[in-house]
Amino acid sequence: MIDLIQKYVEAYGPSAYEDAIREMIIADVTPLADDVSVDALGNVIAKVKGKKNGQRVMLIAHMDEIGVMISHIDKNGFCRFMRIGGVNPQTLIGHRVRFTNGVMGVIGVDDPRSQRLPKYDDLFIDVGANSPEDCPVSIGDTAGFVRPMAQLNEHRIIAKSMDDRIGCVVLLETLKALKKPQNDVIFVFSVQEEVGTRGAGPAAFHTKPDVVIAVDVTATGDTPKGFPMDMDLGKGPAIKVRDGGMLADPRLVRLMRDQALAAELPYQMEILPFGTTDARATQVTRGGIPSGCLSIPCRYIHTPSEMIDLRDVQNGIALLTKVVSEKIELK
Ligand SMILES: [Zn+2]
């Protein structure tokens, strides 16, 4: 699984520019699913047929990652940029970016002696150009961050884009583990989550699931002066109760918790005071679709080195496989 995680987290794919990661996912799901398609926005939809009279369950994880987009190139060839998604300026100085066309750049700051935190207006990308004419990228070009994955010990790994490529890994491994599920399972690898969960709603509207479970990362409270959250790396995947954008369907929360208890899998209950996931968009599409989320605890979200614990990933796959394989009754 480590090799798969490395392949996905190091792949390029800022929101709306998910082509490279999409191709990898299509290649990986095609031998395993009954039907694979790509919708008008670029969501990958892989379906597995279940037994008669089961539910239609959607599992959704987003393929896109945060990034930057060039908004202006000055007379010396320095590129100003807008962010794509929740990029934190604290993490940017000296960071490397790679554009869709392969050009590399480094982020610099106007006044390198300043002690205050930079704002976006203070930052630029240096691609080695001296003028707009010899600049190898143009206004509107998009870049993603560059950082190789590293394994710190048996359980913990760091990488860019754990958010949410680790969710894509969980979906793929669940797809591999499925054997004759009770329910039809629709695996969606979505686009444009980081800019406001834009891919998920159309995907759910189109495929008409009865129930949706998003798989994404959640913040933890286990670092010095961390978030006031009861959430630790390595203590189990998290069943979302609420976040900044939604209240998870209480019946689905109960069902996921009952299944974790029945299988004696570790789990944590997630109360995230900010942020949201694709489940927010699926919950309010069509006539409303009961939606919830299984979260992988993650330190340093939206930094170049997001940290997860492999045990949470494995236990998440086990729980999700059990939930979608067995009869689903919301009560
Ligand atoms: Zn995410």
Q: What is the DSSP string of 66-105?
A: -EEEEEEE-TTSPEEEEEESS--GGGTTT-EEEETTS-EE
Is 293:248 a contact under the CB 8 Å cutoff?
yes
Positions of the chain with pLDDT lower than 70, given as ranges: none
What residue spans define the domains of the chain? 2-65+160-325, 68-145
How far, in Å, from the CA of 59 to the mean position of ligand 1? 14
How far, in Å, from the CA of 297 to the mean position of ligand 1? 11
How far, in Å, from the CA of 123 to the mean position of ligand 1? 25
Per DSSP, 309 falls in state E
Superfamily of domain covering 68-145: Peptidase M42, domain 2 (2.40.30.40)
Of 65, 173, 193, 194, catalytic: 193
3-state secondary structure of 175: helix
How far, in Å, from the CA of 326 to the mean position of ligand 1? 27
Neighbours of ion ligand 1 (CB under 5 A): 163-164, 216
3-state secondary structure of 47: strand
Identify the pLDDT of residue 116: 87
Identify the pLDDT of residue 217: 98
In degrees and rounded to multiples of 5, residue 19 shows phi and psi of -50, -45
Q: What's at 251, amino acid-wise?
A: R
How far, in Å, from the CA of 189 to the mean position of ligand 1? 12
Is residue 193 part of the annotated active site? The answer reads yes
Is 138:127 a contact under the CB 8 Å cutoff?
no
Is 242:280 a contact under the CB 8 Å cutoff?
no
Other C-beta atoms lying within 10 Å of the C-beta of residue 117: 10
Distance between CA atoms of residues 240 and 249, nearest Å: 9
Per DSSP, 247 falls in state B
Identify the pLDDT of residue 303: 93
Identify the pLDDT of residue 43: 98
Identify the pLDDT of residue 226: 86
Q: Which residues contact 244 (CB under 8 A, 6 or more apart)?
A: 272, 273, 274, 275, 276
- What distances in angstroms separate CA 323 from CA 116, 280, 319, one per listed residue? 49, 20, 6
pLDDT tens column, 227-252:
889 999 999 999 999 999 999 999 99
3-state secondary structure of 15: coil
Q: Is domain 2-65+160-325 in CATH 3.40.630.10, yes or no? A: yes
How far, in Å, from the CA of 106 to the mean position of ligand 1? 24
How big is the CA angle at 62 (ends 199 and 283), to the nearest 5 degrees?
55
Q: Which two tokens stand for residue 55?
A: 């539910």
What is the pTM for the complete model shown? 0.96
Is 109:59 a contact under the CB 8 Å cutoff?
no
